[in-house]
Structure 1
Amino acid sequence: MIHPSLIKKQRMLMVILTALIIVTVLVSMGLGYSSVSYNRIIPTLFGNGTFKEEFVLFSIRLPRIIITLLAGMALALSGAILQGITRNDLADPGIIGINAGAGVAVAVFFLFFPIEAGSFVYFLPLAAFLGAFLTACLIYIFSYQKKVGIQPTRLVLVGVGFSMALSGAMIVLISSAEREKVDFIAKWLAGNIWGTDWPFILAILPWLIVLVPFTLYKSNRLNLLGLSEPVSIGVGLAIEKERIVLLVTAVALAASAVSVTGGIAFIGLMAPHLAKSLIGPRNQLFLPLALLLGGWLLLFADTIGRNVLEPDGVPAGIMAALIGAPYFIYLLLKKV
């Protein structure tokens, strides 16, 4: 039973975060290499703008904003699941190598499997998922010890090792590729939001429509997995089965996000921690907040990044790392 005061607090925080997202969206729509006057945004959204204003908003800004929001939400939820099933506060799909696995799969798919442009965007999340899933399985196998199960520190170290190895594999893959393809993969590695057209939204949205409600449905299982294994077993939880199901869910969320945004880390680390600090560790309460925080953090990072240096700006992945790396070091020192 959740106390009514906590539910009230959660709803209030969700309203505040939603308002913060709306404000950031409006600011983001007006800023950029081709600026749109803020007093013209609302009329343009309702079809009363000039050709230039409608082109900038509907063809450039809005798709990028929506993609960034959706990807941030997916990464935040993925990080929250990983932290729950491993009981490791440092788990994040970017830090422990899952994003790197998705990246190698995307690179292989892009370099060696020529597919029509119309179908490419829809196959990309699937390719990323396969690479990320294989990587997650290997990390899990190498981190698991029969007598003690998953040890948090061991999982992080194994994940970092896989991330480094896969980064090396990526360099080998692109060393003999064509210049245009190398440029694309380099942008992907930097976390540049490259999927900025409406079809990319259609590619990522079905994954979130299925996986977000499923994760919220499993929130009580995540609460139990956060307890010690004897307690979880004592209440009748099939630990390994639930871990595998939730691990696949986390991998699918991360893969769907990074397939269209590139290699972005730390969003999945920061958003769950900030949500827990606001409302507490109960998954039913903090997961919805983590979703909103993840979307806002990535949108904020991208908005700042693309306006720091014109015309190309700084990739959102680099901005997220600048914000998240000190936080990661703080958490690491706190655990030690």
Structure 2
Amino acid sequence: MTLSALVRKQRLIVLISLGLIVLTAIISMGVGYSSLSFNRLIPVLSGHGTFKEDFVLFSVRLPRILITLLSGMALALSGSILQSITRNDLADPGIIGINSGAGVAIAVFFLYFPVKVGSYVYMLPLVAFLGALITAILIYIFSYSRSRGLDPTRLILVGVGFSLALSGIMIVIISSAERSKVDFIAKWIAGNIWGTDWPFIWALLPWLILLIPFTLFKSRQLNLLNLSEASAIGVGVHLDRERLLLIVVAVAAAASAVSVTGGIAFIGLLAPHIAKALVGPRNQLFIPVAVLLGGWLLLLADTVGRNLVDPDGLPAGVMVSLIGVPYFAYLLLKK
């Protein structure tokens, strides 16, 4: 298929993805523990709702929808970058330990560094970023060799090892914490969407506004890194510098998401794979599709999960894992 035909196909898929997001958001606004009839959505959105309707929609449903959507986009962006950098289709921030690193940092910060409520919301992404970045640097160091460069298979194995080790550290931290705070950490590990107020949206949104355009700007370098080291070096790409820069971007995207949604894995695995199957491996084409699909997948998982079991539902992380684990096993066997 020619490039112009792929671009037309990508635009169509982007429109379909946006339509799916809008449709799922409308369903999510109307269903839940306190139902809100669909014929009342437009009047409530236009400011003609009752106090109860306004509270349900603007204080409960809409912030959760936006947080879930933005977090899914960030996780998909992170997975897309990691898969291109490592040339490994199994790369995902949740699988290779980056989310676990962010989780340990958040747990330590939450338990031992009391701060004011107003600044707490905006410090969480920074704390998660620091923890995830340290983890990513260690994984990179253990996966890199001077003779062969970055070994994609070794990176996955090292990342899984770090993920298990950090999970053990999390258990040790939990065992010494207060019961009320343990409940929060347990929900975070399960991938329960907890940051469902408007301040969390304003804390997360600037990261995406910066990271998505920057990643698209770097799409040519990602294309070259996805081919081979020899090809990248041949056209003058500074491998180590570009890799480290893009790893920082991937870590920042994942950390900003999991700081408010908990330890959700597999979105960064599923969304890029689906996007590549639809529009091909060029990063400038599949990344916008993957970002939208990631947002839609997490929104769909949360919408289904919170209405599946009364009263609290199933965490979005559990719902995503029900699909992600079999798919990861399939890819592992295939590779």
Aligned AA (1:266):
F
Distance in 2 (alpha carbons) for counterparts of 1:317 and 1:35: 24
> Partners in 1 of 2:330 and 2:46 — Cα distance?
46
Quick one: distance in 2 between partners of 1:333 and 1:44? 50
Structure 2 Cα separation of the partners of residues 285 and 85 of structure 1 = 16
Separation in structure 2 between the aligned mates of residue 280 and residue 228 of structure 1, nearest angstrom: 17
String of CA shifts for 1:67-92, please: whole Å, max 9, x gaps.
00000000000000000111110000
For residues 35 and 150 of structure 1, what CA distance do their matches in structure 2 show? 52
* Structure 2 counterpart of 1:127, one-letter code: V
Q: Secondary structure at the match of 1:23?
A: helix
- Please give the alpha-carbon distance, in whole angstroms, between the structure 2 residues aligned to 1:3 and 1:186: 47
What's the offset of the Cα at 1:145? 1.3
Q: In the alignment, what sits opposite 2:276?
A: 276
CA distance in 2, matches of 1:177, 1:291: 36
Percent identity over paired residues: 72
**C-alpha deviation, 1:206, in angstroms:** 0.8
Find the counterpart in structure 2 of residue 41 from structure 1.
41
Equivalent residue for 1:155?
155
Matching residue's letter, 1:44 = V
Amino acid in the other structure paired with 1:182: V
* Counterpart Cα distance in 2 of 1:157 and 1:239: 22
Q: Deviations over 1:6-50 (max 9, x none)?
A: 111111110011001100000000111001001001110001111
Q: Post-superposition shift, 1:316? A: 0.3
State the 1:174 CA deviation. Answer: 1.2
Paired residue total: 334
Q: State the 4+ residue runs in structure 1 displaced beyond 6 angstroms.
A: none
For 1:188 and 1:3, the matched residues in 2 are separated by: 42
Query: Could you tell me which residue of structure 2 aligns to residue 219 of structure 1?
Result: 219
The CA deviation at 1:3 is 2.2
1:6 paired residue number: 6
Q: 1:18 corresponds to which residue? A: 18
- 3-state SS of 1:89 partner: coil
Give CA deviations for 1:86-106 in whole Å, capped at 9, x if unaligned.
Answer: 111000000000000000000
Partner of 1:196: 196
Is 2:171 the counterpart of 1:164?
A: no
Alignment of 1:251-262 (within 5 A): 251-262=251-262
What TM-score comes out, normalization by structure 1 length?
0.99
Distance 1:6 1:206 in 2: 30
One-letter amino acid of the counterpart of residue 272, structure 1: P
Q: What is aligned with 1:81?
A: 81
Q: Deviations over 1:254-301 (max 9, x none)?
A: 000000000000000000000000000000100000010000000000
Spell out the pairing of 1:110-259 with structure 2 (5 A cutoff).
Answer: 110-259=110-259
Amino acid at match of 1:162: F
TM-score of the superposition, structure 2-length normalised? 0.99
Unaligned residue ranges in structure 1 (runs of 5+): none
Provide the C-alpha distance between the structure 1 equivalents of 2:258 and 2:55, rounded to a whole number of angstroms.
26
Quick one: distance in 1 between partners of 2:144 and 2:332? 21
Alpha-carbon RMSD across the aligned residues, in angstroms, is 0.7
**Aligned counterparts of 1:113 and 1:206: Cα–Cα separation in 2:** 24
